[in-house]
Amino acid sequence: MKASIKAALISALLFPGLGHLFLRRGMRGLLFIVPTLLAAGYLLRATLALAATLVADIESGKLPLDPILILERVHSSGIDNPATNGAALICIVCWIGSVADALWLGRHR
């Protein structure tokens, strides 16, 4: 198997940019790793904050343990905002871009 295919698979299946480290293109790999880590960290922080609020409301009795009501609370929480949508878009673009770039690097070696 060619090195570019291995790098693309590593980037696709593990984490964006790791395939570039396999190809010994560390700085280029960091261009995919750092934004993805920052965006994923933001998404994780927002999700955990919302989950903590929901759990506290359920434990206090303010929110019944009803999936429909919980889903309505999630939708009304404002978690679906431009910042979270942008962070999700950054993750997707970096993931696809790192796979495509790993394949491109292999073809131009």
Prediction pTM value: 0.85
Please tell me the total count of domains within the chain.
1
CB atoms inside a 10 Å sphere around CB 11: 30
Residue 24 backbone zone (phi > 0: left; psi -120 to 50: alpha; other: beta):
left
Query: What are the tokens at 36?
Result: 């993805």
Domain that holds residue 21: 3-107
Q: What is the pLDDT of residues 5-47, one digit of tens each?
A: 999 999 999 999 999 999 999 999 999 999 999 999 999 999 9
Task: Name, in order, each residue with C-beta under 8 angstroms of 74's C-beta and a sequence gap of 6 or more.
Answer: 50, 54
Residue 108: pLDDT band by 50, 70, 90 thresholds?
A: confident
**Cα torsion through 69, 72, 76, 80, rounded to 10:** 130
pLDDT tens readout for residues 88-97:
999 999 999 9
